[in-house]
Amino acid sequence: MNVTETLRRRWLWFAGALVALLAASVLVAALAGVFDSSDAEPERPRASAAVVTPSPEPPPADVVIDTTMTMPYSEVWNPPDGGENFWQVVDPENGYPEDGGTDYILAHACEDQGCAGDQIRTLQAGDELTYRGEPYVVEEKLEIAKTEIADQDIWTHDPARLVVITCILDPDTGEYHENDIIVATRAA
């Protein structure tokens, strides 16, 4: 083998190694993000794309209790349904007249917000609701442990007063250990 042929072979090896090294460097740089540019223009919407603007949230629906089912007094107030109704405690022998005193209304509140009591739970003092066609104003909202309900100052009768009781779901445990109590008075 002569000197020229040896130099040519070394040159090919050198050129091949240089190309491989350059290709590897470009690949490493690309993986490292060297070629990414934060100055790149953001993609513009195409002329045919519709621009959608979100509509404002509708105002909350008025709370209306038109009809109630009746249930007798019991130690544990648990309306006998899946949450679709409001229940008035009517038991004259135990001090809960249907008319002429405070109406005690019960309703379930549910995790999926699909129960009658869910709207009641949104009420705060000063809010209005309609009960059997009459306007009422919320005077007080209490959040109490179920074990403390008997100790509350809600048990005297006033024909212009409404007391609505719902459960409060604990989202962490899925249990109901507290009640919301809404005390409302007929608006003048």
Which tens digits make up the pLDDT trace of 129-148? 999 999 999 999 999 998 89
Phi, psi of 87 (to 5 degrees): -125, 125
pLDDT in tens, the chain (188 residues): 665 666 566 656 555 554 555 555 555 555 666 555 545 444 444 444 444 444 443 444 589 999 999 999 888 888 888 899 999 999 999 889 998 899 999 999 887 788 999 999 999 999 999 999 999 999 999 999 988 988 999 999 999 999 999 988 777 887 888 999 999 999 97
- The CA-based angle 155-157-162, given to 5 degrees, is 85
DSSP 185: E
Q: Which two tokens stand for residue 17?
A: 């190694």
Q: How far is CA 53 from CA 56, 58, 141, in A?
A: 9, 15, 37
- The CA-based angle 69-152-159, given to 5 degrees, is 50
Q: In what order do the strands lie in the sheet with 69-71?
A: 64-65, 128-131, 134-145, 176-186, 161-169, 103-107, 87-89, 69-71
pLDDT at res. 56: 41
pLDDT at res. 173: 82
Kindly report the pTM of this predicted structure: 0.66
Instruction: Write down the mean pLDDT value for the chain.
Output: 78
pLDDT at res. 168: 84
Report the distance separating Cα 168 and Cα 179, nearest Å: 5
pLDDT at res. 9: 63
